[in-house]
């Protein structure tokens, strides 16, 4: 491994705790902050250092990585008084791995540059399993020098890593990913609900169709969870709704019509209205059978 770094990791939820754990096991000094302290306890027990705020964690870090829930959380932690940008030492590298707004990523990059900080937007795909197994897809926006500096850390967390352009490009790529994910979720839910209503064993149908032209990561990974009644979150319903909203807003700015995504958003809004927003995204299957 290269020289150990001091890394602040902000957001130790379902995915963040695994990602921070990989950095810790690689020998880096990891400083953590999470809004709910208990979600960082396992990392602290393993040797990470707890801080009472994102700014405090960032103050002496060489690299600051965040994995948060919503754009408002990103804005608050980075841009508010006493936050990451105000507290980070000059020369630090800031990496937001939250799925967030491309426009916010550009604002953060501009604010960071004014304080001689480098920044990347680097959202990920792969869910809880990809985070645990360090095989996330990492989509990056920012300067190439900052990307090369971050790449050894990305390689501890993911396998498919690419720089897509300037600040905001990582988030645009992630929105493309989320469009495909959301519309694809509707496809397999409809297919298996149809099979069940036709009197077939949906698990047997799943086995038949998942290896053919209908196959997808979601059909292979999430459909079995839904069929077994497991709706625990690898990725929350409330977060896919957030992502679809960002994508639809961005598409509107580009005067692009996305009817498939709009339909998926309406369906997931119904899932949330049933009280299932803290379920995993496979909870959409329940909607078709209710």
Task: Cite the active site residues.
Answer: 174
Name, in order, each residue with C-beta under 8 angstroms of 110's C-beta and a sequence gap of 6 or more: 167
Q: What angle do CA 232, 237, 238 make, to 5 degrees?
A: 125
CA quadruple 91, 105, 170, 225: dihedral sign: positive
Per the CB < 8 A criterion, the answer to whether 204 and 34 are in contact is: no
Judged by DSSP in three states, 1 sits in coil
Residue 173 exposed, middle or buried by CB count within 10 Å (0-12, 13-18, 19+):
buried
Element counts in the chain: helices (H) and strands (E): 14, 9
């Amino acid at each position: 491994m290269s020289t150990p770094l001091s890394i602040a990791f902000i957001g130790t939820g379902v995915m963040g705790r695994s990602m921070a754990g990989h950095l810790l096991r690689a020998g880096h000094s990891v400083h953590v902050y999470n809004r709910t302290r208990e979600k960082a306890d396992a990392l602290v027990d393993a040797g990470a250092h707890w801080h009472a705020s994102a700014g405090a964690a960032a103050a002496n870090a060489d690299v600051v990585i965040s994995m948060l829930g919503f754009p408002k959380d990103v804005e608050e932690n980075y841009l508010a008084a006493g936050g990451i940008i105000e507290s980070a030492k000059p020369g630090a590298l800031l990496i937001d791995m939250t799925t967030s707004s491309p426009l916010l990523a550009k604002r953060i990059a501009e604010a960071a540059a004014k304080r001689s900080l480098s920044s990347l937007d680097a959202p990920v795909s792969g869910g809880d399993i990809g985070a645990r197994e360090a095989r996330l897809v990492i989509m990056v926006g920012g300067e190439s020098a900052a990307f090369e500096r971050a790449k050894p850390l990305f390689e501890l967390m993911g396998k498919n890593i690419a720089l897509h352009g300037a600040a905001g490009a990582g988030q645009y790529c992630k929105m493309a990913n989320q469009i495909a994910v959301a519309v694809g979720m509707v496809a397999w839910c409809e297919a298996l609900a149809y099979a069940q209503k036709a009197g077939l064993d949906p698990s047997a149908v799943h086995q038949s169709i998942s290896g053919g032209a209908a196959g997808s990561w979601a059909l292979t990974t999430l459909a079995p969870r839904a069929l077994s009644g497991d709706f625990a979150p690898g990725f929350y319903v409330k977060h896919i709704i957030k992502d679809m909203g960002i994508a639809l807003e961005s598409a509107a700015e580009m005067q692009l019509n996305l009817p498939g995504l709009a339909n998926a958003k309406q369906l997931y809004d119904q899932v949330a209205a049933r009280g299932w927003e803290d379920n995993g995204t496979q909870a959409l299957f329940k909607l078709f059978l209710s």
